[in-house]
Structures are given as C-alpha cells and as structure tokens.
Amino acid sequence: MTDPTMSDPAMGDPDPYGSVRQRIVAATTAWAGGMTLAEIRESFERFLGDGAGAPEVLRTALRIAGLPACAFDPPEATPRTTLLYCHGGGFQIGSIRSHAGLMARLAAASGARVLGFDYRLAPEHRFPAAADDAFAAYAELVRAGDTPLAIVGDSAGCALALGTAIRARDAGLALPKALVLLSPWLDLTLSGESYTALADLDIFSRPAQLRAMARTYLGRDNPPSDPAASPVLGDLSGLPAILVHAGGHDITLDDAHLLVRKVVAQGGRIEVEVFEGMPHHFQVFEELPEAGASLRRIGAFIRAL
C-alpha cells in the first residue's frame, strides 16, 4: 500500500489531485451533456492526450494485424523487447492517441518498446471484435518471432490483455513473461462490492456508466458472465506472473481482489498494489505523484523479467 503524497511540497504541485479533479469534473460533465459518441471520443482523446508524456521516446506509426498501431521506443530500448499495450475506454472510446502519453511514459520507465494498437470499438463493432483484434495483434507478434515480454492494459484494456493471454495459452502459443494490469475491469457483471461502496469516491468512473458500456459492448446476445468477455470468471491456470496496480477509490477495485483469489487458488503468481485515494486508472494523469510512482515500480518489475 502506498502512503498519500498529494500534499507533499517536495513533490511539486502541493495539490496535484485538485487540478486533476477539476479536469475530470469538467470533462465528465461535458460528456453527460448530450454529446454524440463521436464528440465524446474526440473529447476523450484531447482530455488524455494533451499530456507531454516522455518527449525523449520515439513514436513510430505502423500497422499490426491490419490495425493502426504506434511503437514507443525509449532511447535505451532493448532490441526485440516489446510490451503489447491494450488501451482502456470501456470498449467504446480510447485510442493510441488518447493513451500516447501513458504508453510513452511506460516505455521510458521500463526501457522497452511499447506497442499500442487501435482495436474496433462498440457499438459499431460489438463483442468479440475488440477481443479478437487484441488476440490477432498478439498472435502476429508471436509469428514474427517477437513474443511480447508482457501484455499491459488499463481498465477495459485489462480484460483484453487477460483474455488474450488465456486464448494464447489455449491455442498453444508462446506466452509473455508477465501481465501488467492497471485498474483492471475484468468482471462485466459488476458483481463486486466496490461498484457500490466506492461509487461516491471514484471521481472518474460511475457504476451506471460501466453498466451502459458493458451493455453496448456485449449487445443483446452475449451475457456479461461469459468468461470470454469477463476473463476473471474463466480458467486462470497456467498464466504468467501478474502485476496489478489499482487505486484505493477505484470502483473496479474488487475485480483486482477477485483476480487475486482466483489466481492464487489455481496456483498462479500475482502481486497487487493499491494506491490509497487514487481513482480509476489514475496512471493516465501524469501530474499525480502516485502515477509516477506506479510507473517506476512497473518499470522496475519489467526490467527484472
């Protein structure tokens, strides 16, 4: 567990969380004000993509499995060491543009190439389109002899990351050495107590919002209890080591706790760190000291693989 450092003057801004709170409230108020999905997507990209990230990281547009992608290479990147990144956004929003700053900072912290990609979004492309795209990207890297060192995801991207590892295991493909999950949203049934207990504390996500996103992603014919959509409800044996970083005020926090119980029960290895007072996928806000601390620890974890 981390100690709150939000008011430590030595960390720079004496209250960085206050500025983040203002940004989030302004953005979420606008999103709830009748904006179209296209407008919300564009706003979300600006909202998260305005950060400076790590300017020393080289960004290269490319394609993987026919999908738009971007490679983030730090100056000291180890050749053929790739982290496959699955961005969040409730399966409806988000892109390599919105998460570019986070992926660049992860590349700098880990010393590894981070490869992000744009998967198909709902409602234009419902389940299992996003999951199929994530697996296709991973499989193409394996076939090219560049099996990712780790699969990383945030929020809904964690369901894609975990689901991809499960599918790779079942298909007999080479597995990554680790999974790294940031504020994982893994149970689309929203059965954990945190979805109600932390509903008034998480300033970024709301239960009604996630329920609507799950319905839009799944459509009418796919139940949220399907392990292909909610991978934490499936077989978690035989997976690589898992590192989870979540916020103490994150409404999806119980998904992380459920993952721990199931992985441990099935003989796997998992480590979870909860950052007190932090909201859902707080790492995207680079002005937060906790975001920097999380990425430094993740970087150290990846460098030790």
Task: Say whether pLDDT at 4 is over 50.
Answer: no
Pairing status of strand 178-182 against strand 241-247: parallel
Q: What is the pLDDT of residues 34-84, one digit of tens each?
A: 789 999 999 889 888 766 689 999 999 999 999 999 999 999 877 779 999
Q: What is the pLDDT of residues 267-280, one digit of tens each?
A: 999 999 999 999 99
Is 205 among the residues known to form the active site?
no
Distance of CA 187 to the CA centre of its chain: 14
CA distance 123 to 284: 24
CA distance 283 to 157: 14
Q: What are the structure tokens assigned to 98, written together? A: 């919105």
Sign of CA dihedral 272, 176, 279, 284: positive
Query: Out of 95, 155, 183, 205, which one is annotated catalytic?
Result: 155
**Other beta carbons less than 10 A from residue 20's beta carbon:** 23
Q: Model pTM? A: 0.93
Query: Out of 73, 118, 202, 250, which one is annotated catalytic?
Result: 250
Query: Out of 99, 249, 280, 281, which one is annotated catalytic?
Result: 280
- The DSSP code for 268 is -
What is residue 16's predicted lDDT score, i.e. its pLDDT?
63
Task: Say whether pLDDT at 25 is over 90.
Answer: no
Using pLDDT thresholds of 50, 70 and 90, give the confidence band for residue 1.
Answer: very low
Angle at 199 between CA 196 and CA 203, to 5 degrees: 165
Contact partners, residue 239, CB within 8 Å, separation at least 6: 162, 165, 166, 169, 175, 179, 263, 268
Pairing status of strand 82-86 against strand 113-117: parallel
Q: Alpha helices of the chain — where are they, by DSSP H?
A: 16-31, 37-49, 100-110, 129-143, 156-171, 194-197, 207-218, 253-265, 289-303
Q: What is the pLDDT of residues 122-149, one digit of tens each?
A: 999 999 999 999 999 999 999 999 999 9
Sign of CA dihedral 23, 24, 26, 27: positive
Sign of CA dihedral 96, 79, 55, 158: positive
Is 155 among the residues known to form the active site?
yes
Question: Helix, strand, coil % (nearest 5) of the chain?
Answer: 40, 15, 45
| 3 state SS of 62 | strand
